A = this chain, B = another copy of it.
Amino acid sequence: MNDKDPVDAIVEQWAAVRPDLDTAAMEVFGRIFRLSRAMGDRMEKAYAPHGISRGEFDVLATLRRADEPYTLSPRELSATLMLTTGGMTGRLDKLERAGLLRRSPDPHDRRGLQVTLTEKGLALIDEAVGSGLAAQTAALSGLDTEQAAQLADLLRKLLTSTER
> Are B29 and A32 interface neighbours, CB within 8 A?
no
The secondary-structure label for the interface of chain A is: helix
> Are A153 and B18 interface neighbours, CB within 8 A?
no
> Are A136 and B25 interface neighbours, CB within 8 A?
yes
Q: Does A7 contact B (CB under 8 A)?
A: yes
- Which residues on B sit within 8 Å (CB–CB) of A16? 67
> Are B3 and A34 interface neighbours, CB within 8 A?
no
Residues of A96-126 at the interface with B, using a CB-CB cut-off of 8 Å, are: 126
A154 in contact with B160 given A17-B65, A24-B137 (CB within 8 Å)? no
> Are A139 and B25 interface neighbours, CB within 8 A?
yes
Q: How far is the CA of A3 from the CA of B164 in the complex (A)?
A: 13
CB-CB nearest in chain B for A64: B17
A156 in contact with B10 given A17-B67, A64-B17 (CB within 8 Å)? no
Query: Quick one: which of A6, A28, A140 has the most chain B CB within 10 A?
Result: A28
* Interface contacts beyond A2-B153, A38-B162, A147-B157: sample of 13 additional A-B pairs, CB < 8 Å, sorted by A: A2-B156, A5-B159, A13-B65, A18-B64, A21-B133, A22-B133, A28-B152, A28-B155, A29-B140, A32-B155, A33-B39, A35-B158, A36-B37
